[in-house]
Amino acid sequence: MEESKKILLATSNQGKLKEFKKLFNKLDLICQTDLGIDDAVEDGMTFFENALKKARHGAKESKLFTVADDSGLVVPGLNFEPGIYSARYAGEEASDLDNRNKIIAELKKRNLESLPAYYVCVLVGIHSHDDPMPIYSSGQIHGKVSIKSDGEGGFGYDKIFYLEDPQTSMASISPEIKNTISHRALAARSFLAELEKI
């Protein structure tokens, strides 16, 4: 794909935008909010379905090659919650803190200090809203969620998500390290490899 061609990133999440601009630093990315495009309706049942819905919506509105992600936290011991509802786990207008507090409350309800968990990211890229062959990739990083909150970086559940190695919260590692090991980084690496084939 030509490096000079503008690519729409179908998100209005500033935390995601900041990370993706670093991960896709060779691409000319613009955000859907720059073009006044509203968020897509996320009514799919999987991360892939929601990423595809966002990509199709962004491509239709912008007429640009569009990349969309759907990502979240999965805690198998909490019935695989919050999953696709990660951004609105504690309600439609929930803040990151509200969502983290709900996880902590669920752990405490079960008299647990932590539970195994993983972050997942699915990326989808399409040339047009009716593109029959989307490019897609995914990435996962495993660790645990804890009732302990630590770190000043990141966003979402990063303050209560602890890596297996080193045993530190995602919010405590540097952005440089995060952008090599995170679910988003892994998905982006695979996605870029697919993009280069076009």
CATH of the domain at 115: 3.90.950.10
- How many structural domains are present in the chain? 1
CA distances to 21, 119, 142, 143 from 164, rounded to whole Å, are: 26, 12, 7, 5
168: Cβ contacts below 8 Å, ≥ 6 apart = 150, 151, 162
Would you say residue 1 lies in a domain?
Answer: no
Would you say residue 188 lies in a domain?
Answer: yes
End-to-end CA distance of the chain: 6
Would you say residue 51 lies in a domain?
Answer: yes
Which residues partner with 150 through β-bridges? none
Write out the chain's pLDDT in tens, 198 residues: 444 588 999 988 877 788 888 888 888 889 998 899 999 999 999 999 999 999 999 999 999 999 999 999 999 999 999 999 999 999 999 999 999 999 999 999 999 999 999 999 999 999 999 999 999 999 999 999 999 999 999 899 999 999 987 789 999 999 889 889 999 999 999 999 988 887
Handedness of CA 12, 138, 181, 143 (dihedral sign): positive
Token pair belonging to 50: 């929601």
What is residue 3's predicted lDDT score, i.e. its pLDDT?
43
8: Cβ contacts below 8 Å, ≥ 6 apart = 29, 30, 31, 32, 35, 37, 58, 59, 62, 64, 65, 66, 67
The pTM for the full model equals 0.90
Query: Which letter does DSSP use for residue 13 in this model?
Result: -
Q: Please state the length of the chain.
A: 198
The whole domain housing 116 covers 6-195
Residues annotated catalytic, as ranges: 70
